[in-house]
A = this chain, B = another copy of it.
């Protein structure tokens, strides 16, 4: 695969043949007339003659039989012509392919999301992007946020719908806030506070909390603390849940209350009540990707996401996208 440095044979395959020679040779072979070929190449005939001579000398094989008056391909010339055409086609196609790639028209996007927190933005953005970029392959992966961060670091995915922004994360990460969700209090139905239709943060000051494990949901504790900070307390977390269903169970069993995005209501639940906060508190939803992995397709997908989110919650993404 590499340079074949030590190989004596590789040396015979002359290193100063160039595509120019192939282009010229094909032109001559097409017309079997140096003068006409030179014209179509916008070239003087002696230059062409010389280059073809160089080519033949280079590979050590006579490709053309020139009798004054008639030019004909030799057997070798016929064989080489086929290959020369193939090479030129391959060159042109490769360039076009890479250009399409750089325009975001082709490529792959590996996207991770958390199924536990299904929200309708993902399919919506995928649909819109697929329409404008039909030749980009979209590969979806269901991962916990922690898995997403690892996959981002290992370059296994290009974009993660991670939810919470993590301050301590890999500094190569790029972030964008794509939604702002209402935060709700999750508490047992038989909890005294459940009788109130709206709950103040302050009401939660002395409560025990159930949290999401750092192992699966990095940033949850930090987010919870920051959310409660305006009320002047730090939530005391008694128990961690690995996944959202466990969180619901723990709350139902009275191990504590918690805060979550209002989408958590979509999860199946029993014995659990949801109450809005008053005044309302919002939680930003973030996506993350690798700064050094900014494919055009990725950038354009993020643009699609932004334009869609901007449509239903305008005004905040300017601040959000700034790192």
> Which residues of A does B touch, CB under 8 Å?
1-3, 5, 9-10, 12-15, 17-20, 23, 27, 30, 40, 59-63, 65, 72, 75-76, 79-80, 83-87, 90-99, 101-102, 107, 292-293, 295
Given known pairs A60-B102, A102-B61, the reply for A30 and B2 (CB within 8 Å) is yes
Q: Chain B residues near A17 (CB, 8 Å)?
A: 19, 91, 95
Closest 5 CB pairs of A and B: A83-B94, A61-B102, A18-B18, A13-B92, A75-B295
A76 contacts B61, CB within 8 Å? no
Chief secondary structure at chain A's binding surface:
helix
B18 contacts A85, CB within 8 Å? no
Which single residue of chain B is at the shortest CB-CB distance from A106? B79
Which single residue of chain B is at the shortest CB-CB distance from A18? B18
Q: Chain B residues near A79 (CB, 8 Å)?
A: 97-98, 101
Q: Chain B residues near A102 (CB, 8 Å)?
A: 60-62, 76
Given known pairs A79-B97, A90-B90, A96-B9, the reply for A20 and B23 (CB within 8 Å) is no
C-alpha spacing A83/B101, complex, angstroms: 13
A95 contacts B19, CB within 8 Å? no
Q: Chain B residues near A61 (CB, 8 Å)?
A: 98-99, 101-102
Kindly provide the distance from the CB of A298 to the nearest chain B CB, expressed in whole angstroms.
Answer: 9
